[in-house]
Structure 1
């Protein structure tokens, strides 16, 4: 037999209720505490201002063709009296972009369009197709490797814009523009413009449609 006093039933009930209450309160506190992700995680906020409309331009040209180009730029800059390990950079960059070819129809005069009396034949004289400015695609352009001397790395550390790729991007744009000039992009643009105008005028009842290009 136990020599201690028997614990009343109501004391057992109160003790059990108190234990349950402690567990519930502890659980609520743990659930209310922020997780480590909430404390140390990153939060992205877009504080950009509204976009402002600066100008509106009427487009009077037909975008007839688009060329996709890619160039590998190997740009090296060396100091005249210092070794490359101390001062100098070399960047290998893959630049991808597009160039549009268009036919400008804004300057057409009355004598550039000739239509016969029966409105069955038409002749249109257009200027030669021209090339737009190259547009570098940031999603398809990237730096393959970057080599920098010690002084250049220290300069990047104290710079507001480390590892600036502006020079290789400008060089890639220049090479893409040259490649577009040497390509058949403008010739393809004139062919596409001819087909477009012929299809349009024939749908209006013209049976003889001639498109020429000149100054």
Structure 2
């Protein structure tokens, strides 16, 4: 059965759940995962942002747009480990991409990946160990928190953008937060804060990955 957008949204959330554990682990070329962006609907893609460990400048970052539908079976969606393997392969040395596949988004270089030309790098010993430890410490469940994390973007010193949606609603709301603030209180209040329309940043926010943006950096 062809995946619905609900299926795509769930898989984007699964990918964000896995890749957030890898923001401190360098990729083969020394760059780091800086974000997971939910591609605008109805695209069956996810955008993985990579760049230097400490940067907030968009022109230092690359967003890799990775199709979630697999080559062998378009009715199947690539899993989080598949996406991580592709990202590692893409960041394993110099690659040349056709200009037709390169653009920009939010000031970042956007590369539309052809999965046929990016065989996933296989898991290593540490990946297998991580899978065991993560499963014991944080068992993987079908039930997602509400609001559900669909993605994130590390924007620079003490600033991060969260992409979330609500239960049974795949409409993405972005929230800019300060990690050094009061994270425990913020997380507790987030379900109600994202419903407060008056917090919406007015005008064109230049972010196609969400329907609206709220600013919680001073909360």
Q: TM-score range by the shorter chain?
A: under 0.3
Q: Larger helix proportion, structure 1 or 2?
A: 1
Higher relative contact order (CA 8 A, sep 6+): 1
Taking structure 1 as the reference length, the TM-score comes to 0.19
* Higher Rg of the two aligned structures: 1
Taking structure 2 as the reference length, the TM-score comes to 0.19
